[in-house]
Structure 1
């Protein structure tokens, strides 16, 4: 079994981090395609209240163990060169990035399919919860869509 990789980071995922991650792959000349998913906090409106942020929490040990299994299954299913996953914990404001999934392969189809499956499995299988914080400071648990 592969070593458990920590996918969590405190606060938003910064654009500079995303750019650096992409730039680091320029020396990997066997890669022909990258697929990137960026999850951004929306300023949704519910009951006339606008979301200003989401506060993420997780059952981290279980989430990381499950993510390791998902990662192994994705690598077995798709011919990937690499895969990077970063998910925010704590408060992330509207307009900021909370999820960064980056898959690479020789050909675009593998990278695209793998990236999409990883995102869906994170949302459906990992014990990660988001609490919407509204402009009036009230809050409610978010339902994944």
Structure 2
């Protein structure tokens, strides 16, 4: 009987800590059917804008809708690739330059599936989830982030 997958909360308040990332990796050491992992870490850049320099991004989301959509994306990607594990974490709140705001981690028996699935997940998260980033500037102003 196949295990039923349930929506998981992908949101983390504040930045994603290096300890959380390290622990997530360490938790997979006992899963001996995994041959490859692929990890994407999204980090806040110190972009220079005409209005000022980015010092942080404040993330907000339509959480219920985002969690439903994230579940749909997870199911699509699990159906498309032979994955063993998949983890998605996205920050909410103010994340400073240099901190991690997105952590996507895929695992599979062979590396290609993990790498391709991770890439597709990141692209779909950026394009499809109702998450907004307000770039906080050093001039005390802000601009809304546009995903590219």
Q: What is the root-mean-square deviation of aligned Cα atoms in Å?
A: 0.9
- Any idea what the Cα deviations from partners look like across 1:68-108, whole Å, max 9, x if unmatched? 11100100000000000000000000000000000000000
Q: 2:74 aligns with which of 71, 75, 79?
A: 71
**Match 1:45 to one of 24, 27, 48:** 48
Residue of structure 2 aligned with 1:85, choices 80, 84, 88: 88
How many residues are aligned here? 145
Distance apart, 1:48 and its partner CA: 5.9
Aligned to 1:137: 140
Q: How does 1:107-122 map to 2 (within 5 A)?
A: 107-122=110-125
Alignment of 1:3-82 (within 5 A): 3-47=6-50, 49-82=52-85
2:15 match: secondary structure: coil
Task: Give structure 1 regions of 4+ aligned residues with deviation exceeding 4 angstroms.
Answer: none
Gaps of 5+ in 1: none
| Residue segments in structure 2 that go unaligned for 5+ positions in a row | none
